[in-house]
Amino acid sequence: MSNSGYLLIADISGYTNFVKLHNLRQKNVLGKIIADNFEFHAEAIVSDLLEAVIEVIEPTLKLNKLEGDAAFFYIESNDSKNQADDIIRIMDKANESFNEKASSLAFVRACNQRQLYSYTFEKLI
């Protein structure tokens, strides 16, 4: 028996470069004690951003897996003509939530990370 449904991957683009750029442990200007306190700086920012997205999407779609900077969601088709449109609206809300969270994080704003978020959306037939 096969089921049809929708898959959604919320992925933060540029994650690897962002982590490398903001790994304060690698910065020679900072002392070891300061660097130790900020070891997971970039990872914490990305985690906050992804969490903001998950909070919007998860009530409707099921979170299946988290992998680094990406979250994989799915939902079975309910034969509603509006289900795809509803999912797209949720994606828009998740994008708004991401942007609001990014704006609230001063360091992200200061780094001018404009292209952090993209979606991949597929309908299973």
> Whole-number mean pLDDT of the chain?
76
Q: How far is CA 27 from CA 31, 36, 85, 104, 113, in A?
A: 9, 11, 46, 25, 19
pLDDT above 80: residue 36:
no
What is the CATH code of the structural domain delimited by 5-123? 3.30.70.1230
Which residue did the predictor score with more confidence, 69 or 14?
69
* CB of 38 closer than 8 Å to CB of 23: no
The count of other CB atoms within 10 Å of the CB of residue 98 is 19
8 Å CB contact between 68 and 10: no
Does pLDDT of 101 surpass 60?
yes
pTM of the shown model: 0.69
3-state SS class at 13: coil
